[in-house]
Amino acid sequence: MEMNGQVVARNGLTDRTGRKVALITGITGQDGSYLAEFLLEKGYDVHGIIRRSSSFNTGRIQHLYDDPYTHQGGSMRLHYGDMTDSSCLVKIIHDIRPTEIYNLAAQSHVKVSFDLSEYTANVDALGTLRILDAIRTAGLEPTVRFYQASTSELYGKVQQIPQTETTPFYPRSPYGVAKLYGYWIVVNYREAYNIFAVNGILFNHESPRRGETFVTRKITRSVAKISLNEMDHFELGNLDARRDWGHARDYVEAMWLMLQQDVPQDYVISTGEAHSVR
């Protein structure tokens, strides 16, 4: 059947060509790049939002542009935008009219959030609100499906082990607090405006594309430099700290699966196993 001029599929909408259209914020990051690959393989038209930069910042998705079918065929397109600019978000969403939106953009470094607390709130908290409002401005409430990348940092001061979808939140950083606002505004818009909007509470997930300031990449880069005699040692924090680590490829598939359900629900995404840094 048709709704608002689009062909309706059971799990979400497709455009007139029968293809689903996905918009990814944070497409140049670890998760965004894997998600773009995943969706392209499933036949989606993929759109990504990138920030204007004086240096190249698309290294993680460059291989997708090296594929003539992907780039010249037009199944992936990038748009300049920023999570702090509501006007550009409204325009992009109105023009693309996506069937699925994955909000992965964030200032995601916990330590940095103490130095850039206002910026972190502007991007991680209000950025989520701006996208949800853009969905309403474009009149996409009945058709779009929205995924919000949330974080295990919501739990902060742990209240119970293991953490579940019903564990009380107790964030202990500006990053965690900003993400908590994002979490609850998604729940609020889902209930108030009947938007298919979900939160994925992500525990640590790694890959070769992980940012180099994060502990797993710091270790691998430092070991490589030591083997090349470029450094003789490196320092880490608490080696006995235990974390739940998964692989980013598995986590982006979970994001997609959340948007294919009949009923929108929030989920914890983790392996269920903890390992120490040591």
* Residue among 153, 155, 251, 267 flagged as catalytic: 153
Q: What is the mean pLDDT of the chain?
A: 82
5 pLDDT above the threshold of 50: no
CATH superfamily of 2-208+245-276: NAD(P)-binding Rossmann-like Domain (3.40.50.720)
Average pLDDT value for residue range 170-174: 96
49 pLDDT above the threshold of 70: yes
10 pLDDT above the threshold of 50: no
- Answer yes or no: are the C-beta atoms of 264 and 190 closer than 8 Å: yes
Cis upstream peptide for 162 (omega within 30°)? yes
Task: Please say if 147 is a catalytic residue.
Answer: no
9 pLDDT above the threshold of 80: no
Residue owning tokens 């209240």: 159
Confidence at residue 176, expressed as pLDDT on a 0 to 100 scale = 97
Domain boundary assignment for the chain: 2-208+245-276
Give the residue, 158 or 274, on which the prediction is more confident. 158
Give the residue, 159 or 246, on which the prediction is more confident. 159
270 pLDDT above the threshold of 90: no
Confidence at residue 272, expressed as pLDDT on a 0 to 100 scale = 60
Confidence at residue 223, expressed as pLDDT on a 0 to 100 scale = 55
> Mind listing the pLDDT tens digit for each residue in 182-213?
999 999 999 999 999 999 998 876 655 565 55
Amino acid at residue number 200:
G
Query: At 165, which helix (H) or strand (E)?
Result: none
> Mind listing the pLDDT tens digit for each residue in 142-167?
999 999 999 999 999 888 888 889 99
What's the rounded Cα separation, in Å, for the pair 102 and 106? 12
Task: Please say if 119 is a catalytic residue.
Answer: no
Q: 256 Cβ partners below 8 Å, 6+ apart?
A: 35, 38, 39, 42
Confidence tier at 231 by pLDDT (50, 70, 90): confident
Confidence tier at 273 by pLDDT (50, 70, 90): low
> Mind listing the pLDDT tens digit for each residue in 116-132?
999 999 999 999 999 99
36 pLDDT above the threshold of 90: yes
Task: Please say if 175 is a catalytic residue.
Answer: yes
* Residue among 175, 189, 251, 267 flagged as catalytic: 175
Give the number of other Cβ atoms within 10 Å of residue 85's Cβ: 14
* Residue among 151, 216, 251, 267 flagged as catalytic: 151
**H and E: helices and strands count for the chain:** 10, 14
7 pLDDT above the threshold of 50: no
